[in-house]
Amino acid sequence: MTPPLPKRILPVNVYLVGWLLLALPARAQRYPHYTIWSRVQVQKRLSNRVDLLGEYHFRQQNDLHDQIQTPLDRPLVRAFRLVGSYRAGAWTFQFNPSFFRSHQLIGKEDDFATPPNPEWRLAAYVEWARTWQRFTLRVRPGYEYRFQERNDYVPTGRARFRVQGRYALTERSRWVLGTEPLLNVGPNPSPVPFSQNQAYTGLDFDLCKTWLGLEVGYLYVFRQRRTRVEFDDEHALNVQLKFRL
């Protein structure tokens, strides 16, 4: 029998909301954006403990010059990522090399002159998961070692801390709610410690129980620019197609 949902869950949710409130400045220049984040995943289970997953990311953004703002007007990100996972009980360990080509979020006219930024990343994550009846809590800290063209490929670091809840609505569908703050850390840390916070809610479906899944949701990304007084409010439609081999 699974243990009852602990009373700590409410304080945890209050804490997550607090992350967002602390990140919001009282007065600053803020730019709204409308984007689409799409991802195709192909996963292969090599054993009961080991998985290998490949991803392609395709993201678009709106254009300031269009009277009707749509999230498909201009490129935002193209990326490839390979994820190796090892599970041991409630813990999952991941190693994640990837390549990103990111465009500037267009908030003002000067942003059109910013060139794309190629980037190589080496990331590692540790995730702890616990289930109470229909609810699963996942806590995932991680670290990214980054080589970006705009920094002349001098290595930098970024820490991530994702907290996510998943509630089983039916045998083949789940409601997902989570938040993930990102902080600029060493080596060669940015003078702006706060990078962004990603808050997400969505629905995860098993279209075919054994090999095909779909996740659709809303992602709000609050970013701080290097000027410290400029911020981006990104409203994204998130669409993921998942293949399991």
- In this prediction, residue 69 carries a pLDDT of 80
In angstroms, the CA 83 to CA 103 distance is 23
Mean pLDDT confidence for 48-59: 97
pLDDT exceeds 90 at position 145:
yes
Average pLDDT of the chain is 91
In angstroms, the CA 100 to CA 34 distance is 20
Span 178-212, pLDDT tens digits: 999 999 999 998 888 999 999 999 999 999 988 99
- Side-chain half-sphere CA neighbours of 226 within 13 A: 6
Distances (CA, A) of 212 to 43, 208, 216, 233: 10, 5, 14, 32
| Least confident interval from 65-79, 145-159, 171-185 | 65-79
**Token pair in block for residue 116:** 């794309």
Q: Rounded to two decimals, what is the model's pTM?
A: 0.87
Scored b (16 or more CB within 10 A) or e, 207-219 reads eeeeeebebebeb
Domains, the chain, ranges and CATH? 9-244 (2.40.160)
Span 104-130, pLDDT tens digits: 999 999 999 999 999 999 999 999 999
Cβ neighbour number for residue 132 with a 10 Å cutoff: 13
Span 23-36, pLDDT tens digits: 444 457 999 999 99
State the DSSP code for 245.
-
- In this prediction, residue 200 carries a pLDDT of 98
- In this prediction, residue 4 carries a pLDDT of 52
pLDDT exceeds 90 at position 66:
no
2 confidence band (pLDDT: 50, 70, 90): very low
